[in-house]
Amino acid sequence: MSQATNQSWGGRFSEPTDAFVARFTASVTFDQRLARQDIQGSIAHATMLARVDVLTDDERDAIINGLNEIQGEIERGEFNWSVPLEDVHMNIEARLTDKIGITGKKLHTGRSRNDQVATDIRLFMRDEIDVIEVELKRLREGMIELADREADTIMPGFTHLQTAQPVTFGHHILAWQEMLSRDHERLLDCRKRVNVMPLGAAALAGTTYPIDRHVTAELLGFDRPAENSLDAVSDRDFAIEFTSFASILLMHLSRMSEELVLWTSAQFNFIDLPDRFCTGSSIMPQKKNPDVPELVRGKTGRVYGHLMALLTLMKSQPLAYNKDNQEDKEPLFDAVDTVRDCLKAFADMVPAIEPKKTSMYEAARRGFSTATDLADYLVRKGVAFRDAHEIVGHSVAYGLKTEKDLSEMSLDELKQFSDIIEQDVFEVLTLEGSVAARNHIGGTAPNQVRAAAQRARDALSALKAGAA
């Protein structure tokens, strides 16, 4: 048995908590990560209590000074965390009482650990979202600059991982950037729902003390107090929404990772990643492994798992707070860390990608990537598209037999499939002509890629201004 019951709730108990149960139910080993937010919320709460005359100014000042001293102890690694005190809240409150006496016990007036932890998590998530957004912006900026720089670099575009049509490397990178722009919107939208204050809901029904929740919300930078006390202490939608954002983001990064892994292989040989983002083999000295994208691809599954864990955690909970909710923190913390680290890795790595332009160009010349251009040429000459499709199919079959690309065939060879074909056909059969012909918004023409990069740059700048 443990030597005593927890002082925050043990008054009605006739025996101490079983030692194993004390360890099993404690959360301080992981929720001590919320210490800064817990102290931040407590300072705001004490300030509000003094404004409504529940605390005197002297009591408020003693509490705030004590909390600031405790923050220093934690930052210096001098704080003694106690498992019997269960969680971050009671550890800090007990230390405060040790430092300033009975006044420390007055801090909990008008609140519960239920609304306290809900507030701490929201403050934590708001802080982490802001850090994650910085890394996401940095990655998007790097992609935009890379795309602009490589607007003329030709590579094969794929469907079914088969050569389809030529595109530019810049156009491909801007496709990645579009994925991240949607993720960015989701993150900012999630932050709006995170930034609602549960504090003041107390255990579940509010409090009889004359608190002013708008004052506390303003002190903590929340947009508003939560409207309903039952929902305020039991809601974890914001955590699920964040892990949903995280799962979609990691899915996008995983798709990018898969392409990076393929492109660095000897079989593709499209790009080179700097050595600092790769590792070698303990047995094969020639190896240069793209470990960063491989790890990002692997970490995607663990973030998916956190989303399912939180959904499952909440799916059958009756109102209001339940101890189940203690299990929200570890998956949420890990999702936050994983997203932040993956974004940092990509933001550092992507601008350093070095395209192997000759390899990309030669790959685009294989696989009859300008076949659609030949069909479009015939249509412009008056041939119905279905007939043009068949004509080009025959020419491709001939190319496979003779091992010639369409652009390598002579005019006489092409005319055997249609007399309409003239010398001007070679203007569209070149890779440069093919990409230049897609000259519309969203197309792969180099001037359209540069224009799209500038629009993306402007949109990101506007987003920064709006966020500021």
State yes or no: is 184 an active-site residue.
no
Which 3 state secondary structure label does DSSP give 19?
helix
Please tell me the distance from the alpha carbon of residue 25 to that of residue 18, in angstroms, as a whole number. 11
- Among the listed residues 160, 316, 410, 440, the single catalytic one is 160
State yes or no: is 281 an active-site residue.
yes
Element housing 294 (H / E): helix 291-314
Q: List residues bridging with 156 in a β-sheet.
A: 166
Please tell me the distance from the alpha carbon of residue 426 to that of residue 406, in angstroms, as a whole number. 9
**Strands annotated E in 141-180:** 154-159, 162-168
Parallel, antiparallel or unpaired: strands 196-197 and 162-168: unpaired
User: Is the CA virtual torsion 306, 309, 315, 320 positive or negative?
Assistant: negative
Please tell me the distance from the alpha carbon of residue 148 to that of residue 458, in angstroms, as a whole number. 13
Parallel, antiparallel or unpaired: strands 224-225 and 196-197: parallel
Contact (CB, 8 A) for 43 and 64: yes
- Among the listed residues 89, 172, 229, 281, the single catalytic one is 281
Q: What angle do CA 323, 329, 333 make, to 5 degrees?
A: 175
Please tell me the distance from the alpha carbon of residue 37 to that of residue 125, in angstroms, as a whole number. 10
What's the number of CA atoms in the CB half-sphere (13 Å) around residue 403?
0
143: closest CA among 298, 254, 256? 256
Please tell me the distance from the alpha carbon of residue 444 to that of residue 435, in angstroms, as a whole number. 6
DSSP state letters, 191-240: HHHHSEE-TT-TTTT--SS---HHHHHHHHT-SEE-S-HHHHHH--HHHH
Neighbours of 282 (CB within 10 A): 7
Whose tokens are 């999630």? That residue is: 190
Residue numbers annotated as active site: 160, 281
